[in-house]
């Protein structure tokens, strides 16, 4: 099986597997208990918390462990909105039309709760203009939430520009950075980021663990979305999953150097060059500043449905983001960029892992050529 769906979930790293297997044996104690084995687990958790904080230029006290970016997004958006609602105000949130479905679903819920939401429209490359953000900020804006890297296009948004605008206006800035973390520069200080969401499985770690970064957490009057026994600075109840956190830490330690050493740009260049040489009509979506490890390509003369049905036992591929898979509706990202249903159905998202080789892409290109429509 050739795996070309790493934006959906990156293959687990060997270092992560080994670290988690050891932790499952050693770290069975509840880290909140008062005995030596519990303290052993707690020390490992705090080491990973500090490790993640250091990678972001944050403080460990600003890192909250969650089940993943979806929970982190819920925590961050809902706490900022609820704080204003509890004060009898009408909070205003700014996001974009091509955010992850999770953000859009949360915003729809918050609108139902009485919030006002502005959905910014990106340009034809999938980038939200900083000027459009600046114009959208109002006196009652309580949060701006704009993703760092789009999960379908791989486009890298100028979050430092967004963050600076928000900083100058005194508005908190949140970014879903699940797809960008350790793949492109990210620094919460330099980028003026006040809140951040991450998932371990996007960098070869385990599913079920992520973090929410909240700047200056202890001086904010924010309420948890999951109440419990005071874990995670009172912001996220529940017993911490030590082996998952240890796996997250192992991924953070191993991923960056592997990512930098893998010739993703050459793989991407080879794929597009071969499409041209085979005279296959194509268009690269979000062309510009994108991750080297992925490509969104529209193939108007290829029977993509036939290709995917016939080769599903040989390739792991996505026509859209994994979180939208199974939907009969076309990708909301592509339709926002002006694609009709037929164009969206002809679009493929290919994302590479550390194991992707040129021969894998050559095999895919042969099949794409075979399924060209006459």
- Structural domains of the chain sorted by starting position, each given as residue range(s) with its CATH number in brackets: 2-9+261-370 (3.90.1150.10), 14-256 (3.40.640.10)
> Judging by DSSP bridges, how do beta strands 210-214 and 283-284 pair with one another?
unpaired
What is the distance between the alpha carbons of residues 247 and 205, in angstroms, rounded to a whole number? 6
Long-range contacts of 178-182 (CB under 8 A, 24+ apart): 178/69, 178/100, 178/151, 178/202, 178/210, 179/7, 179/147, 179/148, 179/149, 179/150, 179/151, 179/154, 179/291, 180/148, 180/149, 180/156, 180/291, 182/55, 182/252, 182/255, 182/256, 182/259
Structure confidence at residue 18 (pLDDT): 99
What is the distance between the alpha carbons of residues 324 and 312, in angstroms, rounded to a whole number? 18
Report yes or no: 241 and 259 within 8 Å, Cβ to Cβ.
no
Structure confidence at residue 327 (pLDDT): 57
Structure confidence at residue 374 (pLDDT): 63
Structure confidence at residue 261 (pLDDT): 96
Averaged confidence pLDDT in the chain: 95
Q: In what order do the strands lie in the sheet with 195-199?
A: 63-66, 210-214, 195-199, 173-176, 141-145, 92-96, 116-120
Check residue 290 and report its DSSP letter.
B
Residue 21 known to be catalytic: no
For 265, residues 6+ apart whose C-beta sits below 8 A from its C-beta are 292
Neighbouring C-beta atoms of residue 56, cutoff 10 Å:
21
pLDDT tens profile 89-107: 999 999 999 999 999 999 9
Report yes or no: 93 and 141 within 8 Å, Cβ to Cβ.
yes
Q: Which residue carries 């600076």 as its tokens?
A: 164
Structure confidence at residue 319 (pLDDT): 80
Structure confidence at residue 324 (pLDDT): 52
What is the distance between the alpha carbons of residues 295 and 302, in angstroms, rounded to a whole number? 17
pLDDT tens profile 301-358: 999 999 999 998 999 998 864 455 555 688 999 999 999 999 999 999 999 999 999 9
Report yes or no: 347 and 297 within 8 Å, Cβ to Cβ.
yes
Structure confidence at residue 323 (pLDDT): 53
What is the distance between the alpha carbons of residues 268 and 264, in angstroms, rounded to a whole number? 6
What is the distance between the alpha carbons of residues 323 and 318, in angstroms, rounded to a whole number? 10
Report yes or no: 305 and 345 within 8 Å, Cβ to Cβ.
yes
pLDDT beneath 70: ranges in the chain: 320-328, 374
Structure confidence at residue 205 (pLDDT): 99
Structure confidence at residue 325 (pLDDT): 53
**CA torsion through residues 327, 331, 336, 338, sign:** negative
Q: Which helix (H) or strand (E) holds 303?
A: none
Of the residues 21, 107, 294, 323, only one is catalytic, namely 323
């Amino acid at each position: 099986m050739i795996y070309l769906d790493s934006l959906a979930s990156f293959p687990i790293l060997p270092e992560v597997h080994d670290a988690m297997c050891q932790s499952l044996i050693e770290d069975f104690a509840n880290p909140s208990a008062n005995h030596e084995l519990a303290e052993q687990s707690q020390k490992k958790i705090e080491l990973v918390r500090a490790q993640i904080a250091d990678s972001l230029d944050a403080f460990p006290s600003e890192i909250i462990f969650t089940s993943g970016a979806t929970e982190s997004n819920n925590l961050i958006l809902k706490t900022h909105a609820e704080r204003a609602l509890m004060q009898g105000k009408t909070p205003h949130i700014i996001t974009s039309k091509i955010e992850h479905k999770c953000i859009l679903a949360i915003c729809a819920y918050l609108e139902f709760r009485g919030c006002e939401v502005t959905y910014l429209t990106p340009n034809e490359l999938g980038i939200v203009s900083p000027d459009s953000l600046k114009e959208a900020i109002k006196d009652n804006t309580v949060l701006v939430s704009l993703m760092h890297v789009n999960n379908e296009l791989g486009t890298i948004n100028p979050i430092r520009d967004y963050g600076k605008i928000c900083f100058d206006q005194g508005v908190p800035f949140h970014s879903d950075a699940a797809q960008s973390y350790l793949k492109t520069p990210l620094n919460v200080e330099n980028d003026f980021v006040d809140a951040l969401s991450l998932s371990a499985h996007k960098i070869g770690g385990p599913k079920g663990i992520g973090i929410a970064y909240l700047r200056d957490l202890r001086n904010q009057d924010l309420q948890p979305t999951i109440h419990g026994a005071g874990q995670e600075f009172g912001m996220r109840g529940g017993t911490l999953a030590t082996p998952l956190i240890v796996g997250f830490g192992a991924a953070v330690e191993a991923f960056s150097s592997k990512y930098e050493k893998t010739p993703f740009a050459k793989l991407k260049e080879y794929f597009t060059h071969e499409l041209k040489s085979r005279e296959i009509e194509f268009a690269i979506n979000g062309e510009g500043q994108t991750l080297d490890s992925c490509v969104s390509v529209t193939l108007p003369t290829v029977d993509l449905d036939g290709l995917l049905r016939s080769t599903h036992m040989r390739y792991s591929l996505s026509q859209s983001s994994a979180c939208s898979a199974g939907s009969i509706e076309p990708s909301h990202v592509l339709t926002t960029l002006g694609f009709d249903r037929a164009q969206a159905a002809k679009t493929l998202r290919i994302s590479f892992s550390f194991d992707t080789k040129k021969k894998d892409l050559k095999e895919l290109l042969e099949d794409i050529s075979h399924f060209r429509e006459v």
